[in-house]
Amino acid sequence: MDSTAQSIDRLYEEHLDGVYSFILHRVPNSTEAEDITLETFAAAMTAFSRFRAESSPRAWLLGIARQKIAEAERRRESQRRWELPEWALTEQQRETLRLLLAADIRQLPEDAALREEAQRVMHQLLASLPEAQREALLLQVEQELPIREIARVLGRTEAATNSLLERGRAAIFRQGQHYFGP
């Protein structure tokens, strides 16, 4: 096996789970997530010789995944919604939102039903966000990318990316307050 094939294999092994997880949160079902994950790695194999390491391999793959998700969305002809900015929230609401986004769902009570319900609600809340906000939040929270890399993946400035994150957090707080709120 040549070094390029080994590099591609290593890329696949190291990033498959993260790419699949990112896609799964953005599409209606696991079957579509699996298909888009395959499309992402197929495109990455084709483009591997042009990868210049201007970002991390993970950010590069997530950028490709983002394009594949957009193609799938165009096929489904999804509609987008607009959300109010985070500045419309009180300080207490912002703090609750920060705690919500920092919480690891796996740390909730041992009862599997509660954990599954919390995951379902969070998935619904994320799905209700406009695409750009959802992407930015998933890249930050799930993929743990810094804002600079999120901005590169999204093709936006860091300031615009910060704004997306704020609006996304505000929307999740407002929509999920009945479930997660005090």
Query: For residue 115, which amino acid is it?
Result: R
Locate the domains of the chain by residue range: 3-76, 86-180
- 8 A C-beta contact, residue 83 and residue 130: yes
How far is Cα 47 from Cα 106, in angstroms, rounded to an integer? Answer: 36
Q: Does pLDDT of 25 surpass 60?
A: yes
Q: pLDDT grade, residue 141 (50/70/90)? A: confident
Stated as kind and residue range, the H or E segment containing 145 is none
Which class would CATH give 86-180?
mainly alpha
Q: pLDDT grade, residue 85 (50/70/90)? A: low
pTM of the complete model beyond 0.75: no
Span 3-76: which CATH code?
A: 1.10.1740.10
Report the percent of the chain where pLDDT is more than 90: 22
Secondary structure of residue 146 in the 3-state scheme: coil
